[in-house]
Every structure is written in C-alpha cells, then in structure tokens.
Amino acid sequence: MRIIAAAMGVFLVGLAVLLATRKPVSMQTVASPLINKTAPAISGTSLDGKKSILD
C-alpha cells in the first residue's frame, strides 16, 4: 500500500512541476485559416419539427 501512495506522490509532484513551468495558454498563438472569417449559415429541423435557421 505504501508503494502505491509513494507512486501517486511522485506522479502528483511531477504533474505540479510540469504545470507550473509551462507557458500559459494566453501566450500561445495558433495560425488558423478560420480567424476573422464568418461562420456559414446553418439550417435544419428542431426537435419539435419546426425549421430553424442560424445566420
């Protein structure tokens, strides 16, 4: 039982170190072709059978 507790402790310390030393998400940028583009219009039928349109 102590081996499992020690393994969990080592894992949690490693996870804490990993999360504490990485860059925040707000500092990461991703180049995407979807940025500054409008979403396409969507139409379909709702659950109550009425036609729905999202512009």
Backbone phi and psi for residue 39, each to the nearest 5 degrees, phi listed first: -80, 150
Question: Is there a domain that residue 41 lies in?
Answer: no
Question: Is there a domain that residue 11 lies in?
Answer: yes
User: What single-letter amino acid sits at 22?
Assistant: R
Per-residue pLDDT, averaged over 13-37, amounts to 86
Q: Sorting pLDDT into bands at 50, 70 and 90, what band is 54?
A: confident
Q: Note the helical H segments in the chain.
A: 2-21
Question: Is there a domain that residue 16 lies in?
Answer: yes
Task: Report how far residue 23's alpha carbon sits from residue 27's, in angstroms, rounded to the nearest whole number.
Answer: 7
Q: Which residue has the higher pLDDT, 32 or 12?
A: 12
CB 46 within 8 A of CB 55: no
**Residue 14 lies in domain:** 1-27
Question: Is there a domain that residue 39 lies in?
Answer: no
Q: Sorting pLDDT into bands at 50, 70 and 90, what band is 13?
A: very high
Count: domains in the chain:
1
Question: Is there a domain that residue 53 lies in?
Answer: no
Question: Is there a domain that residue 43 lies in?
Answer: no
Q: Sorting pLDDT into bands at 50, 70 and 90, what band is 22?
A: confident
